[in-house]
Each structure stands twice: as C-alpha cells, then as structure tokens.
A = this chain, B = another copy of it.
Amino acid sequence: MIRKNEEKIFEDYLARENLKHSEQRKEILDVFLNTDKHITADELYGIVRKKYPSIGYATIYRTIRLLCECGLCLELKIDDGTTRYEHLYGHRHHDHLICVKCNRFVEVVDPDIERLQEKLFKRFGFAPQRHRMELYGICKKCKK
C-alpha cells in the first residue's frame, strides 16, 4: 500500500513528540489520505463520522493540526473565506486554478512564473518564504 510512507511519517511524528496513537487518529489519517484533495474540516468530519459516529469535532481539528505539523497536510485559505486541506507528502509545490462555479481545483505549476516570482522577491529585497497564487475562473464544463 502506498499509504505506508504516510503512516510512518505520522507515527514517527507522534513518537518524536511523545504523543499517543489513538484509533481516532488512525481513522482520520486514513480518511484524509483516501479522500479527494482540497477538503474542508467539515467535509472530513462528515466522512469520518460514517465509520466512527462517536467522533467529536474537536478531535478532527486537533488531528488536522497534527497532520499539518508532521508535513502530511497543507492548509489553504481560499478567497471565499473557506479553509481547505490538501495532501502535502509527495506533492511538489503547486498553485491552483479554481472554478468559481463548481469549485473544481486544478493544480498547476509554471516554472517561468516561479522564476519571475523569485526575481520579484529579489528586486524588492525580500527574503522569500513562500507564495500563493490562485487563478479564479469558469472551467470548461461549467461554461457549458
């Protein structure tokens, strides 16, 4: 199973931080890895609850935080104010094309843009940390 790597990363992180590995955390990681990318906390909660009806909302948020801390998950703040989470392990940096109708996310990387962004940092004397670029439009399907 491909997920072996991710599970190990999570377990190693828990061990390193002297945290314990609960059933709930296993289940949330599993759902997160199985799910489509760019999921909200609420969507994750909805899926986990099917298998684990007693799960509490707080546990979802706590575990998402752990997943972000150990490098498996990246938080995205979208223009409409929603927060979404995507897989980070094994995924190189990328930006997003987002359909404002159907909310579809297309992952894109343009090496030319990346290079020009570095030049912008340099031109204004900034030490680069990260960037974020989102292109909002209407996708092919939604154009009808």
Residues of chain A at the chain B interface (Cβ within 8 Å): 77, 79, 81, 97, 99-100, 106, 108, 110, 112-113, 116-117, 120-121, 124-140, 143
Contacting pair A99 B126 (CB below 8 A): yes
Cα separation A139 to B97 with both chains bound (whole Å): 28
- Given known pairs A77-B81, A113-B117, A120-B110, the reply for A137 and B128 (CB within 8 Å) is yes
What would 25 A/B residue contacts be, using CB atoms closer than 8 Å? A77-B77, A77-B79, A97-B121, A97-B124, A97-B126, A106-B124, A108-B120, A108-B124, A110-B116, A110-B120, A113-B113, A117-B135, A124-B139, A125-B143, A126-B137, A126-B140, A128-B136, A129-B136, A130-B136, A131-B133, A131-B134, A131-B135, A132-B133, A132-B134, A133-B134
List chain B residues, Cβ under 8 A from A139.
124-126
* Residue in B112, B113, B121, B133 whose CB lies within 8 Å of A137: B121
User: Which residues of B sit under 8 angstroms from A132, Cβ to Cβ?
Assistant: 79, 132-134, 136
